[in-house]
Amino acid sequence: MSNTRWQRTAFTVGPLCMTAYGLIRLTDGEHGPGPSWSLGHLAFLASVLCFIPIVLGMRRMAARGRGPAGRGLAAAGAVTGLLGAAAVAAQAVIDLFAGFLSEDREAMRAFFRSVKSHAGVEPAVYGVGPLLFYVGLLLLMTRLAALRRIAAWRPAAVVAALVATGVSLDLLPLAGLLFLLAFAPLGRQIDPQDRSPRTAVVRPGT
């Protein structure tokens, strides 16, 4: 698969991996070490990694044909999203290590306490850091909607997904599907090799 095709495919694969993680999580009643924990968090990590080309693609789309201010806003959204993605990816990796190294749920709790005892880990990986991921996505989506390059309901779908996960992690499959609805069509609109200024026209429903 070419690099261009992979970057476009990420807009679909990322949300699908998030949905898969949510579904696998529902099968793991103990939420402890075991195949479900490991498989689910591998899907979660894959989802986060897919959002790296998604963020970069949206940045290009948001900056296309705009002056320095527009490009600056697009860059700010991308940097925020990428910093947040790094925090979420770190959280997924820690969770995977916890599952591999722990014999039971109590051992996992002890592992997490040990990790969080290091200065700066809790706010960076479990607090403010992950929030930056969602803030960056919303900044870019809102910017694209303001430029009329996507329909206004797409950022609203992202907000609905975030509200769903805030209500309960059991709603992660729903959040993943809302992300799929919001992001998958963008993969067809963004050409990773395109650097030339041009104006995109939003068709009804896009």
pLDDT tens digits, 103-148:
999 999 999 999 999 999 999 999 999 999 999 999 999 999 998 8
pLDDT (tens digit, 9 = 90+) per residue, 147-164? 888 999 999 999 999 999
Question: Is pLDDT of 17 > 60?
Answer: yes
SS3 102: coil
**172 touches 21 (CB < 8 A):** yes
Angstrom CA distances, 41 to 14, 38, 44, 94, 188, stand at: 13, 5, 5, 10, 28
pLDDT (tens digit, 9 = 90+) per residue, 59-109? 998 887 677 888 899 999 999 999 999 999 999 999 999 999 999 999 999
Q: How far apart are CA 22 and CA 198, in angstroms?
A: 38
Q: How far apart are CA 93 and CA 90, in angstroms?
A: 5
Angstrom CA distances, 82 to 50, 53, 88, 103, 181, stand at: 11, 10, 10, 33, 21
Reported pTM: 0.86
Contacts of 110 (CB under 8 A, 6+ apart): 102
Angle at 134 between CA 131 and CA 139, to 5 degrees: 120
